[in-house]
Structures are given as C-alpha cells and as structure tokens.
C-alpha cells in the first residue's frame, strides 16, 4: 500500500490516521488466525481488560507468539506503511496485543497513552489497530488530535473508580516524573477528539503517545475482536522510568537511559529504506 502525502501529513500532525482497505482478504485472514492463536494460548501477561470484570480479555507480548506473528509483522503491508511514515527508517516489530470484548456492556476504555507504560521514548513508536468487526463511529476508539506532540502523562491504571489515577503511584527517585492525566471525559469540549468508523480491512495507525480511549460495546456492537501490532524505529531510545521496562521484561533492563532502543529479541522487519 502506497501512502499519499496527505495521509503521511495527517499522521504526523494528528498522531493518528485511518487507512482504508490497508489489509486485503488474505492479510486479514492471517491477522485473525494470529488473534485466535493468542486467545487460545494466553501468555504470562494475559488479564481482564478492566479490573473486576470477566467480560473483556487482553494479552500482550507473549514470549511464545513471535513465530505466529512473524509473517504478519514482516511480510504484509504494515511494515512498509511504517517505513513510509518514518521516511525510510529501519523498522523492528515491538509486540502484539489482542483484545476480546465479549458482551454488549463492556465499559469504555479509559483515556491513556501507551508510551508512558514503557521505558522507551521517541518519534518512531507506532501502533496498528485492527478490528475484525465493523465498528460504527459512536462505538469506535477515540483520539485527541496532536496529543503525541504534547505532554506525556503518568498514564491510567484503569481504575474504574477514577480513570485518571496514575500507573506509577510513587517515584521516589524521580519526583514529579510525569504529570497526572487530565479528566478528558469530564471536559470533552476542551479537547480535539476524533474517531473513525471502520470495516474489516481498515486499519487505524497512531503514535503510541497519542491520547486514546473509548470503544465501549453496546447492543449494536456486542462483541469486539481486536488486534494491535506495535513497531519501533531508529528514533526510539530507552528512558528512565520508575517502573520496569514493561512489557519487555529483563531482556532490555541493561540498556541505559538515552541509549538507542535495540535488542536481539525484537524482529527486524525492514532495513533502511
């Protein structure tokens, strides 16, 4: 898939873009087969998506998943799209994440930023959001346009009582590590929020620092099966974080802050373009 200049510009300015028909039928079939494998073979980080609920499942960064995802991550259009968005940077596959919302009453996902869960920062961090059901705009994932270029917050711990409660509850060696999340849902008019209706084959691509949330189920969308694939590029570096380098584990714990984020465990999918 060759991106036009308008899509590339939208991605860089807004931190998110929708790619209509990015996955053909065969690619979508591979993606769904990988999703099914993950659901049937949960890894050590598998959990409920929201505390206290069995209605939604997620799994991510399964150490046994790479052989299942190699073809999808390397040989489909997604790696090429990533390289185009980054102007020719080499591309590495970061990890997979699957979601399964199983009833028509799963609450919206709290606003958050993916990057602040990690000890990695940079311009070259990207996520592809692939849904296997048609999703109308009112039930879709939402994004705050341009937020990837703004503040990185101490992101949500997904507490159902207060979705702004931070993931890092104390950072004694890093006082004032990251500011708390604003209550976006309580003041939606103050934010430039965008969402997209999608059908299977469409893909939403976003920088992992873009604020996003939403995607509640309802009687019109009673089941949601979603796959997210994340990549990183040349401009990604380790950072000093009060938490572990989750979800990457001890494999990357020895990379010092400020050093390029590189490790043999991550699949290289594109050379310099």
State percent of the chain over pLDDT 90.
67
**pLDDT value of position 127:** 98
Query: Does the pLDDT value for residue 10 go beyond 80?
Result: yes
HEC string for the chain:
CCCCHHHHHHHHHHCEEEECCCCCHHHHHHHHHHHHHHHHCCCCCCEECCCCCCCEEEEECCCCCHHHHHHHHHHCHHHHHHHHHCCCCCEEEEEEEEEEECCCCCCCEEEECCHHHCCEECCCEEEEEEECCCECHHHCEEEECCHHHCCCCECECCCCCCCCCECCCCCCCCCCCCCECCCCHHHHHHCCEEECCECECEEEEEECCCCEEECCCECCECCEEEEEEEEEECCCEECCCCCCCCCCHHHHCCCCCCCECCCCCCCEEECCC
pLDDT per position as a tens digit, 180-198: 899 999 999 999 999 999 9
Mean pLDDT of the chain: 90
Domains of the chain: 5-244 (2.60.120.620)
> pLDDT tens-digit profile of 82-139?
999 999 999 999 999 999 987 777 778 899 999 988 889 999 999 999 999 999 998 9
List, for residues 58-77, the tens digit of each pLDDT value: 999 999 999 999 999 999 99
């Amino acid at each position: 898939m060759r991106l036009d200049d308008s899509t590339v510009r939208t991605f860089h300015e807004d931190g998110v873009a929708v790619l209509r028909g990015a996955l053909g039928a065969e690619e979508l079939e591979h993606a769904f087969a990988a999703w099914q494998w993950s659901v049937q073979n949960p890894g050590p980080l598998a959990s409920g998506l929201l505390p206290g609920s069995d209605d939604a499942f997620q799994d991510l960064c399964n150490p046994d998943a790479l052989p299942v995802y190699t073809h999808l991550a390397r040989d489909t259009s997604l790696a090429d799209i990533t390289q185009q968005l980054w102007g020719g940077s080499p591309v590495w596959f970061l990890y997979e994440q699957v979601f399964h919302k199983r009833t028509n009453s799963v609450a919206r996902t709290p606003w958050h930023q993916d990057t602040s869960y990690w000890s990695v920062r940079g311009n070259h961090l990207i996520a592809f959001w692939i849904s296997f059901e048609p999703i109308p705009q009112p039930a879709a994932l939402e994004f705050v346009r341009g937020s990837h270029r703004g503040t990185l917050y101490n992101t949500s711990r997904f507490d159902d009582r207060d979705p702004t409660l931070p993931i890092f509850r104390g950072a004694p060696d890093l006082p004032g590590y990251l500011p708390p999340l604003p209550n976006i849902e309580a003041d939606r008019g103050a934010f430039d929020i965008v969402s997209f209706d999608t059908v299977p084959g469409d893909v939403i691509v976003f920088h992992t620092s873009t604020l996003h949330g939403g995607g509640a189920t309802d009687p019109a969308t009673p089941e949601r099966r979603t796959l997210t694939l994340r990549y990183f590029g040349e401009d990604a570096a380790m950072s000093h974080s009060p938490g572990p380098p989750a979800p990457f584990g001890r494999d990357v714990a020895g990379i010092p802050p400020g050093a390029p984020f590189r490790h043999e465990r991550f699949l290289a999918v594109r050379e310099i373009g």
